[in-house]
Amino acid sequence: MMKSAITISLVPEARRGPFVFHANEGKADLFAYCKMAAEMGFDAVEIFPGSAQEIPVSELMACLSPLNLVVAAVGTGAGWVKQGLHLCDPDRTKREQACQFISDIIDVAGECGASAIIGSMQGRSSQAETHDTALTMLSDALGKLGERAASHGQVLLYEPLNRYETDLFNTQKQAATFLESQKLHSVRLLCDLFHMNIEEEDVAAALVSVGKHIGHVHWADSNRRAVGMGHTDPQPIVSALQSVGFKGFLSAEVFPLPTSNDAAKQTINSLQKYIQ
Ligand code: LER
Ligand code: MN
């Protein structure tokens, strides 16, 4: 059975970003949102920290365990949002810093029993390098970081983004073909329904076509609000995920609209309706 998750950002610079809860007041704030997520019926939280150091691993695990909550995944996008780092930077030093930033998050995510996500940190090809060079950089980084994730018994999640956020891979099929051709066996796809709504011909068919590569899903409506607040029909999507045997997390990476509470409640209602 698929599991439910909800996003919590710890990054003040991302306060306008697509996260349901924004815990900008430190650890107590994070733990309060975890408690709220458990009370609402979520199975897991997905955390977006400013850096690896911002995840208080042992205290977080002590908070989650009595709540029967787990960490679904940890985002790495703050390396881009706060420091302008990405994996295709033509400057080797900056690329290495991006890799290190992600590697540190893979380690803390691993300690929490979770995977790390590469979304915004993939970057895009710039005027300084060709598209092929950027893809080589991406492949090298996913190879190294995938091995790091595997050393924790985890996969690494790679997320195709829509055309306004990257020019590397915009569709699931392109990305899955790349993972196969580059033999990136420790990397799985993060299928974000918001990006897919923009880029895919048919969201459900795209999911079926990459079936075994799916590692995680961002459960969002067409307008990046909670599922049910836009015009996506979730039924064929859920049927597609069931047909390929996906048993991972459907995680709400959506705007806190009209309020965090409303987005969270709408999300858990949609998940209970479709996956239970
Ligand atoms: C990250 O999961 C994502 O979807 C990007 O659009 C950054 O917000
Ligand atoms: Mn996403």
- Structure confidence at residue 128 (pLDDT): 78
Residue 192 Cβ inside 6 Å of ligand 1? The answer reads: yes
Ligand nearest to the CA of 193: 2
Query: CB within 8 A of 102, min separation 6: which ones?
Result: 76, 79, 87, 116, 118, 121, 141, 145
Q: What is the 3-state secondary structure (H, E, C) of the chain?
A: CCEEEEEEECCHHHCCCCCCEECCCCHHHHHHHHHHHHHHCCCEEEEECCCHHHCCHHHHHHHHHHHCCEEEEEECCHHHHHHCCCCCCCCHHHHHHHHHHHHHHHHHHHHCCCEEEECHHHCCCCCCCCHHHHHHHHHHHHHHHHHHHHCCCCCEEECCCCCCCCCCCCCHHHHHHHHHHCCCCCEEEEEEHHHHHHHCCCHHHHHHHCHHHEEEEECCCCCCCCCCCCCCCHHHHHHHHHHCCCCCEEEECCCCCCCHHHHHHHHHHHHHHHHC
- Structure confidence at residue 276 (pLDDT): 66
Mutate to test the pocket of ligand 1, among 7, 159, 166 (most ligand atoms within 8 A of CB): 159
pLDDT tens for residues 159-212? 999 999 999 999 999 999 999 999 999 999 999 999 999 999 999 999 999 999
- Structure confidence at residue 85 (pLDDT): 98
Residue 200 Cβ inside 6 Å of ligand 1? The answer reads: no
Mutate to test the pocket of ligand 1, among 47, 76, 165 (most ligand atoms within 8 A of CB): 165
- Please give the model's pTM, rounded to 2 decimal places: 0.98
Residue 43 Cβ inside 6 Å of ligand 1? The answer reads: no
CA of 85 to the centre of ligand 2 (A): 18
Residue 104 Cβ inside 6 Å of ligand 1? The answer reads: no
Q: Which two tokens stand for residue 264?
A: 């969270």
CA of 233 to the centre of ligand 2 (A): 18
User: 81, 28, 20, 24: which is closest to 46 by C-alpha?
Assistant: 20
- Structure confidence at residue 126 (pLDDT): 87
Per-10-residue mean pLDDT of the chain, 276 residues long, equals 98 97 96 98 98 98 98 98 98 98 99 98 91 97 98 98 98 98 98 99 98 99 98 98 98 98 98 90
**How many CB atoms neighbour CB 259 within 10 A?**
10
